[in-house]
Amino acid sequence: MIRPASFKYFKTSPEIICLAVMLYIRFPLSLRNVEDLLHERGMDVSHETICYWWNRFGPMFAPEIRKKRVQQLRAMQRFRRMRSLQKFASVHSSVYNHFNKERSLTSRGTFKLPRTAALTE
């Protein structure tokens, strides 16, 4: 988390600085694109200022980004085993089948037969 003292000598609010830097980091945008996005939101900031903010505050945002990236990678590793994938598929299919609009068009047997065959594989 970035400390409020980091923004002490800036005229722009910390929320705008964080927004500009995170837009530049998170999405594949150029500095001028970030400038245009901020201008559409009513904030007049030059691309040079955004570059300065990126150089100044980018290293402070890096640990947060790395932490989120590690959490995403760990979430993807949950399905490395077939058993965990089957558990997810069975829970997901029961929820999905509940809200599926086409479910009422087929009989129960023809609907469950492919699903059970897929889960046994």
For the chain of 121 residues, list the mean pLDDT of each consecutive stretch of 10: 72 89 88 94 93 90 80 69 71 63 71 75 66
Domain parsing of the chain, residue ranges: 4-76, 81-120
pTM: 0.54
Contact of 37 with 29, CB cutoff 8 Å? yes
Token readout for 87 is 């558990």
